[in-house]
Amino acid sequence: MKGFLLFIHLVCVGVVQAQGSQVVFDRPGVADSPYLPSSTFGYLESGINLNFPPERLSFSNLNCMFRKRIMQKIEGRIGVNCIPASYAISNAFSNSKDIPIYLALKIPLVSREKFAFSTLISFISPLNFSLNAVEFNTLYQWDLNTRFSFNWNLGLIKSFNHVVYSTSSFCGILNVTNDFSFFLESYNYLSFKLINEYGFDFGMTKIWFAKHQIDLSFLFNSWNNSLNTGISMGYSLKL
């Protein structure tokens, strides 16, 4: 099964194509867009993850994030339960008595007509600081045309147990119409000390009246010699 998921990961790297315009919302999926919100709006993004088998419901929870451009050229983020899509990391956070708080800054470095590149620095910790994780990601997007583009992230996570993960995600989105899209994505979390994780997810997004988005996606993750599955549903709002 791990071999199959690794194959899916490599295929996605090579052939998946994605959305041909700047993504308004960063839900759903693991990969983040390098684009910033408009200077006049903030974005509120929320969702619920339902994961199976039931004993792994520790990372099935409500999550919410607010994104806003600050100082014109930086995006600030604050959220709750915005944990990396890693079963190892999320299971550890689920044992904390406090809800994990998420803080992050996105800094754009390159913005061209068909290519954008940004960095995202994130800090996650419960209020009691019993454990924490720091994540550094580089975010890329290549717009092929008005219907397809390709979005990928490369990064590192230093977790509470002093384990360093390398992480990557590769996402493609097809704009069927201006407000309806499909996406396919692969991702991994790799470590020399712990069990590696490979996963992929796919789903759809629908935008209503240019301010509201609903999303539905399905996740498959290979971790600890088992295949874990999940469903994610979300609602996002441009304020």
Would you say 27 and 215 are in contact if contact means Cβ atoms under 8 Å apart?
yes
pLDDT band at 104; cut points 50, 70, 90 = very high
The DSSP-derived string for 134-181 is: EEEEEEEEEE-SSSEEEEEEEEEEE-TTS-EEEEEEEEEEEESSSSEE
Please state, in angstroms and as integers, the Cα–Cα distance from residue 71 to each residue in 37, 47, 84, 182, following that order: 12, 28, 27, 33
Alpha carbons 87 and 238: distance in angstroms, whole number? 30
Residue 123 pLDDT > 50: yes
- Pick from 187, 142, 144, 195: which is nearest to 167 by CA? 187
pLDDT band at 54; cut points 50, 70, 90 = low
Q: Where are the domains of the chain?
A: 2-238
The DSSP bridge pattern shows strands 212-223 and 164-175 to be unpaired
Residue 5 pLDDT > 50: no
Q: Give me the mean pLDDT over the 209-237 stretch.
A: 90
Angle among Cα 26, 28, 29 to the nearest 5 degrees reads 100
The DSSP bridge pattern shows strands 42-52 and 148-158 to be unpaired
% the chain with pLDDT above 70: 85
pLDDT tens column, 30-49: 899 999 988 788 999 999 98
- Pick from 62, 97, 96: which is nearest to 80 by CA? 62
Alpha carbons 90 and 59: distance in angstroms, whole number? 6
The alpha carbon of 48 is separated from its chain's Cα centroid by a whole number of angstroms, namely 14
pLDDT tens column, 166-182: 999 999 999 999 899 99
Would you say 108 and 121 are in contact if contact means Cβ atoms under 8 Å apart?
no
Among 73-87, 90-104, 122-136, the least confident range: 90-104
All residues at 6 or more sequence positions from 51 whose CB lies less than 8 Å from its CB, including other chains: 57, 59, 60, 219, 228, 229, 230, 231
Q: What is the pLDDT of residue 79?
A: 95
Alpha carbons 50 and 97: distance in angstroms, whole number? 20
pLDDT band at 87; cut points 50, 70, 90 = confident
- Pick from 152, 214, 177: which is nearest to 17 by CA? 152
- The pair of structure tokens assigned to 219 is 């996740």
> Looking at the domain 2-238, which fold is it?
Porin (2.40.160)
Q: What is the pLDDT of residue 161?
A: 67
